[in-house]
């Protein structure tokens, strides 16, 4: 079980269109990061590359689903 530093709404993250990554300031001075692809896959944990802290991202999973339908052969 993960221990989250905090729970943060996706609206509070800064979005970088070039890298398709959401960023949020970390207390260590770096930034928590989670990609749009991670969100589309149901991931809800943003990590900081400089320390061990993680945050839980609060967002509407349906809003980020890719919408691709795979039909059975």
pLDDT above 80 (res 67):
no
Which of 64, 71, 72 is closest to 44 using CA atoms?
Answer: 64
pLDDT at 12 (0 to 100): 96
Could you read off the pLDDT of 31-65 as tens digits, one per residue?
999 999 999 899 999 999 999 999 999 998 887 76
| Domain annotation for the chain: domains and CATH numbers | 6-60 (3.10.660.10)
Q: How far apart are CA 32 and CA 24, in angstroms?
A: 5
Prediction pTM value: 0.83
Burial of 32 (0-12, 13-18, 19+ CB in 10 A): buried
Q: Stretch 15-30: mean pLDDT, rounded? A: 96
pLDDT at 70 (0 to 100): 45
Which of 11, 9, 47 is closest to 26 using CA atoms?
Answer: 47
């Amino acid at each position: 079980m993960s221990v989250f530093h905090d729970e943060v709404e996706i609206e509070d993250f800064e979005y970088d269109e070039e890298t398709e990554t959401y960023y949020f300031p970390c207390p260590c001075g770096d930034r928590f990061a989670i990609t749009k692809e991670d969100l589309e896959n149901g991931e809800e944990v943003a990590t900081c590359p400089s320390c061990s802290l993680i945050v839980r991202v609060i967002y509407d999973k349906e809003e980020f689903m890719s919408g691709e339908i795979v039909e059975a052969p």
